[in-house]
Structure 1
Amino acid sequence: MAKWDNMLSMLWMLRSGRKFTAAQIADSLEISVRTVYRYIDALCASGVPVVAESGHDGGIHILESFKETPLFFNSVELKALVDAFKFTQGAGYPYTEELESALKKVENGLHDEQRHDLSRQTSGLDVISPARPPSVVPLLRDLEQAEKDGRTVLIAYRKENAGQADDREVDPYGLAYDRNEWYVVAFCHRSQAVRTFRVDRIARLEPTEARFEKPERFSASAYFRDQSEREREADGPLTVIRIEGEQDALNAVCGHWHLRHYLKERTDREARFLLDIPTVNKYLPTYLLMFGTAIRIREPLELKIRIREMAHGIAKHYEDDPD
């Protein structure tokens, strides 16, 4: 049995109100007496008032004033919870207040030494959040509620570079957070197809009386992947693209909104992609050229030659320019 399971079993034994000897606890849990005392120390550190009395009527027990079962988090788990909260704040997660409230309940159960250690361990990480319209959080809540209720909503949506928003009825299927932006994947009644809408471009949202049923097992992340697949130039043939380079440059290439779906293998110095040849020929040379000498194409040879020709053409273009 795992340590935390043993500690919880020991706690339930002690909460019965009886007094136990260390040997009785050890026999029941099939652990050593030495381990029993280590668990007593750990329970006390978690705020459980375990008392060990010697003498004829002595034994190990918990003070009657104790009512709650502690949550057994080690220092790294507590740090992970606080850090996760920082990331949700940075993402604009619509339930950060509720998450903060839950986190405070956990922190209130810590003793002073644990609280000080947690503050020290979490002081070195901050998440810089992008500026977002204040309307995004209530919109995310409303869209999520509409998805749960199966209720069609009327939104005023402004496309990129559009002068004004236009109205459309949509059935929200799910929310997705991608590239620092929130999206709702929804069935658009006007286009009669599933579409993605950036939430920060929704100027207004109103529930309607209409109802809908979401497709069974629908996944917003799977929809994004499928859309990326459809944006390929062709179904095949496929070719392996092997790129070597500096870590920061590889991070940028692997994080590209389209290429990341075709990443097959990644090391500190190399990335391998599997992509159709028409897409490779049409888009990749221009995109990869911007990284200059920070990357080097290892495969395929045709891509390497194309980038070399483009670089030579650019150099020649400026060769005869007057200074």
Structure 2
Amino acid sequence: MAKWDNMLSMLWMLRSGRKLTAAQIADSLEISVRTVYRYIDALCVSGVPVIAESGHDGGIRILDSFKETPLFFNSLELKALVDAFKFAQGAGYPYTEELQSALKKVENGLHDEQRHDLSRQTGGLDVIVPARPPSIIRLLRDLEQAAKEGRTVRIAYRKANAEQAYEREVDPYGLAYDRNEWYAVVFCHRSQGVRTFRVDRIEWLAQTELRFDQPLHFSASTYLRDQSERRREADGPLTVIPAHITWSQVKFTI
């Protein structure tokens, strides 16, 4: 078991409220007594009030005033968190600032050795962040909120190459990210069916007082993927006809 896993296990053992001897902890974690005391020192440095009481009723315990449990991550887990933030930022995730704030709290709890290791581990990967209008962040948040609350919204949507946008009322079922674009999967009141709209083509959004019931177990990403597969199947394979073959010689099997 890795060092940080052992420390976390020891922390949970001590949080049970029982006094434990170093030998009991060592036996449970299959480590040496010397290692137990080294881990206790590390926990104390991180702010955990671990005390060792001598005597017949002595033992190792945590002060009752301790409420918060610090988080322990190994180097690859920390790297994964930072890399996930980079990908979320590159995708235009609407809660990037909140994610960055949470990551900062994790980093603030690291000691110098972990910070140095994290900087070294994450230096080799980066994500190019495409330019997106600030308005899309607000649209993503509003659409997600409407889906969560079951609230109908009115939008102005401009199709590709269209001269003007058309207003319509929609019930947002969810958002999905695919190939560098955000999509809103909605029930469109105008067409009376489930439709997929690219979020960057929505010019504005307004809340309404109408409510709707979210379909049970609906997944926007699954719907989007299924629609893409159906389109590919409908297109069928591409038939290439050599130049020396005439149309009268071509036979199609249906």
Instruction: Give the TM-score band, short-chain normalised.
Output: 0.7 to 0.9
- Aligned-partner residue type, residue 190 of structure 2: R
- CA distance in 1: counterparts of 2:182 and 2:163, whole angstroms: 21
Quick one: higher RCO (CA 8 Å, sep 6+), 1 or 2?
2
For 2:69 and 2:111, the matched residues in 1 are separated by 14
- Structure 1 stretches of 5 or more lacking a match? 235-277, 286-305, 314-323
The one-letter amino acid paired with 1:84 is: A
The one-letter code matched in structure 2 to 1:207 is Q
Asked if 1:175 corresponds to 2:161, the answer is no
Q: CA deviation at 1:209?
A: 1.1
Per-residue CA shift, 1:162-200, capped at 9, x if unaligned?
112110111100100001000000011111111110101
Alignment of 1:116-265 (within 5 A): 116-232=116-232
* 8 A contact 1:184–1:196 mirrored in 2: yes
Q: TM-score w.r.t. structure 2 length?
A: 0.81
1:72 matched to which residue of 2? Answer: 72
Determine the structure 1 residue equivalent to 2:250. Answer: none
What residue identity is the alignment partner of 2:236?
A: T
Aligned-residue CA RMSD (Å) = 3.4
Instruction: Provide the TM-score with structure 1 as the length reference.
Output: 0.65
Q: Is the 8 A contact 1:176 1:182 kept in 2?
A: yes
* 8 A contact 1:139–1:205 mirrored in 2: yes
- SS of 2:174's equivalent? strand
How many angstroms apart in 2 are the aligned matches of 1:7 and 1:193? 54
Partner of residue 279, structure 1: 236
CA contact (8 A) 1:157 1:203 kept: yes
What SS does the corresponding residue of 2:205 show, helix, strand or coil? Answer: strand
Q: For residue 249 of structure 2, what is the aligned residue in structure 1?
A: none
Q: CA deviation at 1:67?
A: 5.2
Residue in 2 aligned with 1:26? 26
CA deviation vs aligned residue, 1:202-223 (integer Å, no higher than 9, x gap): 1010011111112111111221
The count of corresponding residues between Structure 1 and Structure 2 is 244
Partner Cα distance (1:99, 1:43) in 2 = 27
Structure 1 residue 8: Cα displacement: 3.4
Q: Secondary structure at the match of 2:104?
A: helix
Q: State the shift of 1:52 in Å.
A: 6.5
**Greater mean deviation of Cα atoms: 96-105 or 36-45:** 36-45
Closer, same or farther in 2 for the Cα pair 1:194/1:43, shift >3 Å? same
Question: 1:150·1:212 contact (CA, 8 Å) conserved in 2?
Answer: yes
Tell me, yes or no, if the aligned pair for 1:45 and 1:111 is still in contact at 8 Å.
Answer: no
> What is aligned with 1:8?
8
Please report how far the alpha carbon of residue 44 of structure 1 lies from its aligned counterpart in structure 2 after TM superposition.
5.9
Partner of 1:105: 105
Counterpart residue number, 1:260: none
Task: Output the CA distance in 2 between the equivalents of 1:226 and 1:173.
Answer: 15
**Residue 222 of structure 1 aligns to which amino acid in structure 2?**
T
Identify the residue that residue 251 of structure 2 maps to in structure 1: none
Against the structure 1 CA distance between its residues 120 and 49, is the aligned structure 2 distance closer, same or farther, given a 3 Å change threshold? farther
Residues 51, 111 of structure 1: CA spacing in aligned structure 2 closer, same or farther, 3 A cutoff?
A: farther
Structure 2 Cα separation of the partners of residues 233 and 5 of structure 1: 49
- Please tell me whether the aligned partners of residues 46 and 72 of structure 1 are also in contact (alpha carbons under 8 angstroms): no
Aligned AA (1:214) = Q
Unaligned runs of 5+ in 2: 246-254
CA displacement at 1:145 relative to structure 2 = 0.6
| Pair 1:67–1:113, CA change in 2 (3 A) | farther
